[in-house]
Amino acid sequence: MTTVDGVSPGAPTAAVQFLGREGMYWRLRIKGAALLVLTLGIYRFWFATDVRRYLWSHVEIGGETLEYTGLATELLGGFLLAVAILVPLYTAIAGVALAFDAAKEATAAIVFVLVVLLGQFALYRARRYRLSRTVFRGVRFNQHGSAWPYAVYALMWWTLVAVTLGLAYPWAQASLQRYKMRHTSYGDLPGEFEGTGSALFLRGLPLWLLVVGPIVIAFLALAAMINWDALNGMVADSENNPLGLLMGNIGMRVLVVGGAAIGTSIVAAMLLYPLFQALMLRWWISGLRFGAVTVTSRLRTGQVYRIYLRFILFVLLFVLVVAAGGALAVFVSSALAGQHHDSALAEVFASAITLGLYVVIALGVSTIYQVVVTFAMWQLGAQSAELAGADALDCVRASGAPSSALGEGLADALGVGGI
Amino acid sequence: MTSTPDAAPTVASTAPCGAAVYFDGTSSARNVVIVEAGAAGLRILDAHRRLLDEWSYPELRRMAAPDGVLRLGRSGETLLARLEIRDAALTAAIEDRAETLDRGGAAERRLRRKVVALSLAAGASLIVTAIFGLPALASRIIPFVPLAVERQLGEAVDKEIRSVLDTQHLGPTFICGFGPGETPGRAALDKLVGELADAAALPVRLHVDVVRRPEPNAMALPGGRIYVYDGLIAKAQTPDELAGVLAHEIGHVAHRDGTRIVLQTAGLSFLFGMMLGDFVGGGAVVIAARTILRSSYSRRVESAADGYSVNLMEKAGGDPRALGAILARIVSDKEHGIKILLDHPETKDRIAAIDAVTVNGPTTPLLDAADWNALKQICAPLPAKNATTQTNQAK
């Protein structure tokens, strides 16, 4: 196994392994989902902590596993702190909105920007909490720097992504990852991100053309097809004008061309999503640096497609089982309600069954997704990665302190997907 | 393989020992060490059997680790010193000696059961708060909400309501009583409202309008605005029936129910949107919980407004039971009955409560026959649609 003097010299690469077992993870997830329902979601802090402890401690880098040292009570505290901040803030916003009723749109826009900023702030701080609770070889990771510049930066990038219909996405990702990794360190070993936007752009461009392309083409084609002078004339005229007939004709064409374009886009997006995920994960892992340590990913796209096929299969089976159970429940309840000739009772039964089915399906599908997709992607990402220059990991000095869970709490309370 | 030196017997100790990996918490250096499970604690020795550190049993903590690894840390330690043991015999020996390591996880399971029990209690208490606490809290806050704020709120709501109700985009003609042939109806309405307002003596000014909607309904907004649907006037057989409904809506204004609903809705959003978290996703459970609770609130609010209506009608000298009569007629009409039932749950109980009122002596209708006939025609048929289009274009 190991020699007393530690790692043998001349072997600077280190393999990454994922030791987690799917059976254990199923049990963890199903038990957690059941407790979430029973406690109306209050159990989520303990559930998230259990999940992280499991995932972290089963990632092995160069023979040593990671460790998650966060506590559920810290997440609960962060959440309560976030509520204490958000309630006065929301109250103030409501008051302002009421006072300036005339400038409703402006108020709404400002509030939207504020919430987006706060969401990005929360995500950055949540990352800090998680990193400072991640321990490897007795040394913690950490993240420094203020979260506000990041929030502003992220808002600007995402605006640009929206304006360019996603073309700026690679550069946004590269830039934000660079920002995050430059403020990340493992002990005193500084992090860095070397993935470039242009590399991601070149790989992602075919996907963009296939998904966004049809809509752009359809839009341009329709713009060329429409006789703008005639259209202007039509808009000016009343509805009863004979030109309305032509308008209906064009409306039909818009419907057909637009529908076809959107349909093509949706199908392309669904078929290409696993490819996109593989591409992103490979690019991200291969861009990570810690001092002299470099990472490369040998992730194969086919593996990601296999994961999603398995997911679809599981969801189909699950829905079949739930549908059978639901049909049985409807049958039994209608028999019961029929006995008493009580339409109000039948209505109550129907609502309860609908709500119950919704909860079971939503939680079930999310559990299946977490196990069959997220867990498998975690495994795939870890196992495809290889570290070079790993001997730099041997002499890292500890630094940094655990940070507060406010970011996690804010992300949870704002619903931006923290926990 | 592990190269544990065979020097162990030279030490005068029979303590179980074995190989482990030690991280001292100041650097990531990986130290392969020998761990001795002594009487009071663990002795951590390097390859040359020099003592690196000593950890007492009570301060040992089990940290998250993969299967087959015992990862130890120390409690109350800011440094993240770790000891990782894969040797099953040594692990068992340490677990025997250190109670804090919770072999088999019984203490952890006990703690977790406590967490689940407390979470259940917290969830139940939030639900009880939502059912009883929020309405009580809203009642306490309402006296402190200035009437000016309520009026402003009413104006904001009014714009929304108008655009939702005016589905045919009638604009100004959506309100009856101002078109040709409608003014006598408006005068009769003002007379009826005036009688009720005198009896009610509210601090806010009532602003009642009749709108062109076929449903038998009426609504009060915060700040004193009341909309009566044309369909309600068509259903009313006596002026007191209409007056009873008006008095019910005035009750909402007097009780400041618009503000109450805003406060209660905000409270519900806080409790179910924020505290409980949308654990299922999609928001359906949150919406269902809010709908159920809101109908429970509205039941109380509606019966309070009914009580107010009965009192006000007695004060104005009208028939307090007329409200029950028109409610019964609306419920028996199946087409619109469902919608009313949804808004006003348990209508039958409400009617029974109103009918139980004892009327002192004979009552006189609040409007005479001529005024009642005029009010019945407050919404004159609109001119043909083409004509409206042209008037719009003419602007």
Which domains, and CATH codes, for chain B?
Answer: 8-101 (2.30.29.30), 142-381 (no CATH)
Q: How far apart are CA A55 and CA A58, in angstroms?
A: 5
DSSP-assigned letters across all residues of B279-301: SSSTTHHHHHHHHHHHHHHHHHH
Spacing of C-alpha B159 from chain mean position: 24
Share of chain B above pLDDT 70, in %: 88
Q: Cβ separation of A35 and B81 shorter than 8 Å?
A: no
Q: How far apart are CA B97 and CA B36, in angstroms?
A: 12
Half-sphere exposure (CA, 13 Å, Cβ side) for B371? 16
Q: Is a pLDDT exceeding 70 seen at residue B395?
A: no
Q: Is a pLDDT exceeding 50 seen at residue A10?
A: no
Q: How far apart are CA A332 and CA A412, in angstroms?
A: 39
**Interface membership of A92 toward B (CB under 8 Å):** no
Q: Is a pLDDT exceeding 50 seen at residue B2?
A: no
Q: How far apart are CA A2 and CA A318, in angstroms?
A: 46
Cβ atoms A180, A136 nearer than 8 A: no
User: What is the signed CA dihedral for A114, A117, A119, A125, rounded to 10 degrees?
Assistant: -130
Residue B157 — φ and ψ, nearest 5°?
Answer: -65, -40
Three-class SS state of A193: strand
**Interface membership of A236 toward B (CB under 8 Å):** no
Q: What is the pLDDT of residues A13-29, one digit of tens each?
A: 888 999 999 999 999 99
Buried-state track B278-302, b at ≥16 Cβ within 10 A, e below 16: bbbeeeebbebbbeebeeebbeebb
Q: Give residue A342's pLDDT.
A: 58
Q: Where is average pLDDT lowest: A217-231, A326-340, A357-371, B189-203?
A: A217-231
Q: Cβ separation of A83 and B32 shorter than 8 Å?
A: no
Q: What is the pLDDT of residues A259-318, one digit of tens each?
A: 888 898 999 999 999 999 999 999 999 999 999 999 999 999 999 999 999 999 999 999
ipTM passes above 0.90: no
User: Average pLDDT for residues B119-131, to the nearest whole number?
Assistant: 88
pTM to 2 decimal places: 0.81
Which residues make beta-bridge pairs with A293? A290
Q: Cβ separation of B123 and A40 shorter than 8 Å?
A: yes
Three-class SS state of A140: strand
Q: Give residue A6's pLDDT.
A: 43
Residue A197 — φ and ψ, nearest 5°?
Answer: -65, -40
Half-sphere exposure (CA, 13 Å, Cβ side) for B124? 7
Q: How far apart are CA B135 and CA B255, in angstroms?
A: 13
Q: Angle at Cα A120 formed by Cα A118 and Cα A125, nearest 5°?
A: 95
In this complex, the residue of A69, A101, A395 whose CB is nearest that of residue B27 is A395
Q: What is the pLDDT of residues B139-192, one digit of tens each?
A: 998 888 888 888 888 888 888 888 888 888 888 888 998 888 888 999 999 999
Q: Where is average pLDDT lowest: A138-152, A281-295, B49-63, B324-338?
A: B324-338
Q: Cβ separation of A53 and B64 shorter than 8 Å?
A: yes
User: Average pLDDT for residues B24-36, to the nearest whole number?
Assistant: 92
In this complex, the residue of B30, B31, B278 whose CB is nearest that of residue A415 is B278
Three-class SS state of B101: helix
Cβ atoms A147, A404 nearer than 8 A: no
Band the pLDDT of B11: cuts 50, 70, 90.
very low
Could you tell me the two tokens for A149? 């510049």
In this complex, the residue of A1, A58, A137 whose CB is nearest that of residue B28 is A137
Q: What is the pLDDT of residues B221-277, one digit of tens each?
A: 888 899 999 999 998 999 999 999 999 999 999 999 988 888 888 888 888 777 776
Q: Which residues, 6 or more positions from B114, have their beta carbon under 8 angstroms from its beta carbon?
A: none
Could you tell me the two tokens for B56? 């007492």
Q: Which of A91-95, A311-315, B303-307 has the highest mean pLDDT?
A: A311-315
Residue from B281, B163, B122, B101 nearest A104 by CA:
B163
Residue with tokens 């020992």: B17
* Per-window interface: A 359-418 vs B, CB < 8 A: 359, 362-363, 366, 393-398, 401, 412-413, 415
Sheet holding B225-229, edge to edge: B207-211, B225-229, B218-220
Q: Cβ separation of A64 and B30 shorter than 8 Å?
A: yes
